[in-house]
Amino acid sequence: MAGAVSWKQLLINALESNSNLKHSSFLQLATVGSNGRPANRTVVFRGFLDDTHKIQINTDSRSRKVFHLGIEDLRHCPFGEICWYFTDTWEQFRINGKIDIIDDTVLDPIKLQQRDKAWFASSLKSKLQYLGPKPGIPCFSEEPPPQQFSLDPSTGPVSAFCLLVLDPDQVDYVNLKTNDRLAFTSQTSVNGEKCWNTERINP
């Protein structure tokens, strides 16, 4: 395997090779809580942000990914790691980086446009999830399931919709079929651009 191959291209290839599997777009995202304990959950890959290496994940701003027992975990420690395994091609990606939270409190118009774009790219079923009761708390009432809520498809994101953007700085790639392992590490050039160094390491 050529060391010059970018991790993003390897990931795109893996997604295409495993596209017949519904779970190929599911990945695990680990974060660190304000109590110092790790937290992990399964999320859905929502594509790359424009033409960058940044990974998009949609979530509910009321969930523990953003809030944990009322304390803002990602604001306390904005770093996370993705672990993604592709069962057909036996490839694993561990992607580490900083996570940007883009919710309805953000003032940056460009980021708000990114949030809008992610919202309109979501399916109706996915959008309706954000109209349901707050996730992770005890259920004391017979509230209607999300599909019973109505939603105008032409309106923008509801307040609970949050876009997480992970900006990778380290990627560990393993191919168990070929026994190849590559470590990708980012550096910022003098002109502010991110560039990647690739090193072949032992599996």
What confidence score (pLDDT) does residue 35 get?
82
What confidence score (pLDDT) does residue 3 get?
42
What confidence score (pLDDT) does residue 86 get?
98
Q: Which residues contact 94 (CB under 8 A, 6 or more apart)?
A: 81, 82, 83, 84, 171, 172
Contacts 24+ apart (CB under 8 A), 27-30: 27/82, 27/83, 27/84, 28/82, 28/83, 28/84, 29/57, 29/65, 29/80, 29/81, 29/82, 29/166, 30/80, 30/81, 30/82, 30/83
What confidence score (pLDDT) does residue 120 get?
94
Indicate the CATH number for domain 7-200.
2.30.110.10
What confidence score (pLDDT) does residue 4 get?
58
Mean pLDDT, 10 residues at a time, the chain of 203 residues: 74 97 95 85 94 94 59 77 97 97 93 96 88 71 60 84 95 97 92 90 93
